[in-house]
Chain A
């Protein structure tokens, strides 16, 4: 079984400041890692994913994440946020043999203010 822990339920941040959202996971088998975003009144949208290869993954909208196997972490970062980045962010994992079956974290609400 897998589990995902998002360490912050809410992160307030000023516009143009950097942001880091923390995600730790546990699993006894190999997994794929994902970050999804949900903007208000919209569905979940894939930001980025780690399947294999380079541990630094770049996604849409200027986001990136780094896979750290020894620390079982997959933290999400953006160097400079915009008001439009206000949303809820979800870290998720899946087994490599069933990658549509996602195990989600509890979500982190990011609120960007001017």
Chain B
């Protein structure tokens, strides 16, 4: 069974550009979460989808971040325009009713 997959694994962009990160959860998992770890800080919750609905987006830092989960399958996280402080590792996780399964993360570097 495939795990949670994320891509790109690493993205380098310039300040002001747009980046879209994608997460494919484990098949059948209704719950999908986004987390991020900014350099030197804790891993922070961003938001939670249940199927295609945003259950909790209290961790989204500002309106430059847009998450979608069309059809309740894969999810995208778009950062537009990117700022230097957005650099970090973005993790996606999925679950059905219990344990969270994490992807390997997408490292974003904003220059």
Contacts and interface: CB of A to CB of B under 8 A. Distances in A.
B95 A100 contact: yes
Nearest to A3: B42
A46 interface: yes
B43 A90 contact: yes
B91 A44 contact: yes
Interface string B47-70: 010000000100000000000000
A43 B41 contact: no
A104 interface: yes
B88 interface: no
B105 interface: yes
Interface size class of A (residues with CB under 8 A): 10 to 19
A104 B42 contact: yes
B1 interface: no
A90 B103 CA distance: 15
Interface in A43-95: 43-46, 49, 90
Interface residues of B, number: 22
Given A98-B56, A100-B95, A43 B4 contact: yes
Contacts of A98: 48, 56
Nearest to A49: B99
Contacts of B31: 100
27 contacts: A42-B104, A43-B4, A43-B102, A43-B103, A43-B104, A44-B43, A44-B91, A44-B93, A44-B102, A45-B102, A46-B99, A49-B99, A90-B43, A98-B48, A98-B56, A100-B31, A100-B48, A100-B93, A100-B95, A100-B100, A101-B33, A101-B48, A102-B43, A102-B100, A104-B43, A104-B44, A106-B42
Given A45-B102, A100-B33, A102-B43, 10 more contacts: A4-B42, A42-B104, A43-B102, A43-B105, A100-B95, A101-B33, A102-B100, A104-B43, A106-B42, A107-B43
Interface of B: 3-4, 31, 33, 35, 41-45, 48, 56, 91, 93, 95, 99-105
Closest 6 CB pairs of A and B: A43-B102, A44-B102, A104-B43, A43-B104, A104-B42, A43-B103
